[in-house]
Chain A
Amino acid sequence: MSSSAEEIEKVIGQKYKEGFVTEIEVETFEPGLNEDIIARLSAIKGEPEFMLQYRLQAFRHWQTLEEPDWAQLNIDPIDYQAISYYSAPKKDSEKPQSLDEVDPELLDTYKKLGIPLDEQERLAGVAVDAVFDSVSVATTFKGKLKDAGVIFCPISEALQEYPELVKQYLGTVVSEKDNFFASLNAAVFTDGSFVYIPKGVRCPMELSTYFRINAANTGQFERTLIIADDDSHVSYLEGCTAPMRDENQLHAAVVELVAMNNAEIKYSTVQNWYPGDENGVGGIYNFVTKRAECRGDNSKVSWTQVETGSAITWKYPSCVLLGDNSVGEFYSVAVTNNYQQADTGTKMIHIGKNTSSTIISKGISAGKSQNTYRGLVKVAKSAENARNYTQCDSLLVGDTCGAHTFPYVEVKQPSAQVEHEATTSKISEDQLFFCQQRGISAEDAVSMIVNGFCKSVFKELPMEFAVEAQALLGLSLEGSVG
């Protein structure tokens, strides 16, 4: 191959930039999972009784389940008894009320991550509810949100302050019996975000959460619940990172979205968990169940994800389109390198009339990685005039990686129109040459072409994230195509 092959090696070999460990005291449960652990967890969080019952029910069901093995993934067996299910910064008892009270070392961590936590007011108005390991550390912009009537808080807080609201919606989109990882999450989730947008309110700013797994041997089990009541609108951003460690860490999250009549939820994720080193040692196992229900007529849910991290990604953000004229969208860029494995995609379940969905998925695989798109478009008999358009493109970088496309289409309604297209290719020498011939360096040319390849997804991201996503993409792949 051309000289760019060496450059590829160089760039692919780039170190994970977020891989620092914050040395702060943590209170951690001993490894293991049983009903006592769950009861202790629930007690520490001061949860209402129904939550404990919910967790135990989920745990009992989880014990009857087997790990799913249908994905195009090679996973070393996970020992669920060797994981600690709770890890919180020590000063939990006196939870910080404002940023000044937060452990300075923690704030330092966020600075390294580049989260504008203490510059919020000056920046574009992103309220961050940062989840550090499992407990929410600080929530900003609460006042402004409160004026608008928006509830945005850690789910543990919501369980204490709005138990009825949480009870009404928790587990109604992803039941505690949904799948192996969702059951596990329901049993042991430690924290997460809760958002409620009341009727007719357009959330005044974009809401944001940052997740980070810090302690070794801990799993991160967060749970997010977002409810957009009639005629409301919210845009929610989520980012994730984890430090470098040799062991694999488990992350099993559940995200539930509910959109009522005319409501719109936009959910954006930039996932940059530690992917393991160049030999495939370490890295996060990311098993996530994300699902949205468009319960109301004319509602809309849009998922946008940029997946660059994790040793293993198992994630299918889905939309159940119940309401008439409801809309589901899924925009995804998944980048895998070294020994990363990603099996990700979406499900669009059309039930209401005139529902429509769009799926745009861009997979980029490099190194020895495997990148799979797996999606389902299901049109029920009741979904008259349903419409789906799916496009899955894969870009291969290097000759030892794999790119796979497994779409499922099931249609029971003749007036439905479903289209699916997929292509797989590599950046051609011609394209590179064309750019180089005009004085653009090989590296810049590749970056341009890859960014162009992902443009239709990046344009869906909110401004702050789009910048980060492009930087991440550059970090993982710059110059590595040829």
Chain B
Amino acid sequence: MNFPRRQFLRDLGLSAATLPFLSGLPSLTGAPTPQRRQRLIIMFSPNGTLPQDFWPDQEGENFELKPILKPLEPFKKRTLILNGIYNRVRGDGDNHMRGMSCLLTGTELLPGNIRGGGGNPAGWAGGISIDQEIKNFLQSQPNTKTRFGSLEFGVAVPNRADPWTRMSYAGANQPVAPIDDPHQMLSKLYGRMKDKDSLVSILDDVQADLKRVTSKLSARDKSLLDQHMALVRDLENDLKEADKQSSLPHRIPDIDPSLELVNDNTPEISRIQIDLLVNALANDMARVGTLQYMRSVGMAQMRWLGVEEGHHSLSHDPDTNQDSYAKLLKINQWFAGEFAYLAKRLSETPELTGDDSMLDNTLIVWTNELGKGNSHTLDNIPCVMIGGEKTFGYKMGRSIRLEQQPHNRLLLSYAQSFGHSGLKTFGEPTLCTEGPLILT
């Protein structure tokens, strides 16, 4: 039933005028739900990988992690490495563009005016991305609905909007911008609560001030300020009441307010963003998350790794350039380390329901827009997953080699794991004829 919001408020005896303020008071978590909270986080890093040092040599359960994936060692038994995922989407735009904007949408780019390093100019992706598709599905049902549904995190994403910089789409032509400023994300998540705390802290002083000035006034003027005083008292009581009603299972994280968003602070920002993401999911504000590092063709200078050159330039160098190769190895290892940290934070955080950890119910996926930087191939795009055993049913602790499977099938598989069984194909239907990848 479609229940008109105004009608609902009227029934509660609230006028529309109180609405903006009430909605500012936190009912952040909603009602607790007894079901397992199934979650998906997709992490992106750009410019391809180094296949030799990424893909395990062995298939099956007995495999060894190559140097890039070494940081995942503690989670090896809960890791699934998928080789053979191909981005088969063609059409306008260069490989970086399509690698990025088709990565989660599986659709061709629309015609547009963005010139790439090859191919025709192109525009935004022509369809919704899988994270948003799953979010919409979860938000459509009361027992999986959360305040935000999905959260789009970024780390060091340049402030520009183009097909290299967006992987999430709410629909055709509707890119979703990741938030790469931890302050902005914090205020999106908890801003109103923090404001409320600040407000509570000054209301006593406002009352004292009112009392002081009122004593000097004529009876007639005094009555106005007496009314004012009563309203301030009401506000204080309302805020206290709201406090009682909403206690968060996980406290609001603190962020150094003077943290600057500059390249050299990326390692710190990355950890803060991961902590915020885990915290927000722990407080059940969303069930789907994306974590986007830089952008396709990103030129981050990872000086904290001793790398002065921009990432994308390095990725173009031939494999024989040992210096560049060593640097790219470091860069990709660093991303793996961040991915491992995400897994670690989830594994350390217990679920409120049951005795499992968040990682048991959360599938985290690390992917990339290219298979290899210097060839710009869209074949064998990196795909590593950890966790989610209890809710996704994927068999973990394996390294699998698939036969050139369109990545649309993988995206469809995520959706169906959430019970979104009405979805029969995803993105370009012709790339999905064989249904979802079976990973059980």
Do A and B pair up? The answer is no
Seen from chain A, the residues whose Cβ lies within 8 Å of a Cβ on chain B are: none
